Amino acid sequence: MWALSLLTLAASMGRRLALRQAGGMAVSLASQRASAFDIEGGKKAQAPTSDALENMLPRNAVIAFQRNWPSIQLGADTYTFVLRERVQSPKQWDLVNSFLGLGGDGASSRMERELVNPMTIVSLAFPPDAGGDVMAEALSDFRRAMGALGKAAASSPGAAVAPTSAEVARAMRCWDEGRQALNRFYTELNTVTETERLVLIPAEPTAYPRSKERFVQLNKDAALCRNRGGEALAGLWGQLMVYGTVPGVNPCGDVTLATYFDQ
């Protein structure tokens, strides 16, 4: 009976999680971005504060910033740790095109989800004279650079013949133009919010102050947690030693979206 009760509890929790996820499909895009950074149990990445956020900026601009800065920062990490390495390695140019959404549904690409969508929400929420115009222009430049990068990566003659050094250099220039556009966006957003929440991307990846190891571990732990049914179910079965964990050890890993940005 005890084992059956646990199974019933797990099934009930699973149904609630499924209903909550289904219900999330009906909310606005901004709310979707916000919920993506909520950890089950109510934990969130710590929100920045400043006089501009508390007293000067319109409320909808503040809400858009607070909901989307984690996505924008994580997008910058992906741009630095993942996309740059793929651009540098012509053997991975098919993954570059996949990231950009070329040859498929561009609206559902990682570039759109992790960078363009949250940046669009933020730029539209800020008044034109309070950063909105500058951010919109930077976002347009970024999209233009990514379009050029897609064309450069598509120039590879195939697996049998590697791109020339000039073609690789052209692709890297496109990546760097995108980097500069992102930095203009981040600089303006940091300025108008009077925060330093968004970290600029340097030309050399070794100068980027954020941790690649934590980025990799975050993705591993997130995949592990999904495979275990989410944090609530993973915690239940972890207590039963199903996953070989011990009491007090998070079966979803230690690097979560609630702790990742504290670096």
Q: How many domains does the chain have?
A: 2
176 and 235 both lie in a single domain: no
Q: How far apart are CA 242 and CA 221, in angstroms?
A: 17
185 and 237 both lie in a single domain: no
According to DSSP, the residues that pair with 44 across neighbouring strands are: 38
CA distances (Å), origin 132, targets 62, 182, 183: 13, 14, 15
Confidence category of residue 183, pLDDT binned at 50, 70, 90:
very high
146 and 228 both lie in a single domain: no
**Residue 15 included in any domain:** no
Mean pLDDT of 129-138: 96
Q: Where are the alpha helices (DSSP H) in the chain?
A: 2-24, 29-35, 51, 59-78, 84-88, 93-100, 110-111, 117-125, 132-153, 165-193, 212-227, 231-239
**Residue 243 included in any domain:** yes
**Residue 6 included in any domain:** no
37 and 166 both lie in a single domain: yes
107 and 159 both lie in a single domain: yes
Q: Tell me the residue range of the domain where 78 lies.
A: 28-207
pLDDT, one tens digit per residue, over 162-171 is 788 899 999 9
84 and 118 both lie in a single domain: yes
Q: Which of 189, 207, 225 is the last residue of a domain?
A: 207
Q: Is 22 exposed, middle or buried (0-12, 13-18, 19+ CB in 10 A)?
A: exposed
**Residue 47 included in any domain:** yes
Q: How far apart are CA 108 and CA 39, in angstroms?
A: 23
232 and 111 both lie in a single domain: no
182 and 65 both lie in a single domain: yes
98 and 167 both lie in a single domain: yes
**Residue 17 included in any domain:** no
**Residue 10 included in any domain:** no
96 and 181 both lie in a single domain: yes
193 and 137 both lie in a single domain: yes
74 and 131 both lie in a single domain: yes
pLDDT, one tens digit per residue, over 21-70 is 333 332 233 333 443 444 333 355 677 888 999 989 999 999 999 999 99
Q: Which of 207, 240, 255 is the last residue of a domain?
A: 207
**Residue 239 included in any domain:** yes
**Residue 5 included in any domain:** no
pLDDT, one tens digit per residue, over 216-263 is 988 887 777 766 555 443 333 333 334 444 444 455 666 677 788 877
Task: Note the residue count of the chain.
Answer: 263
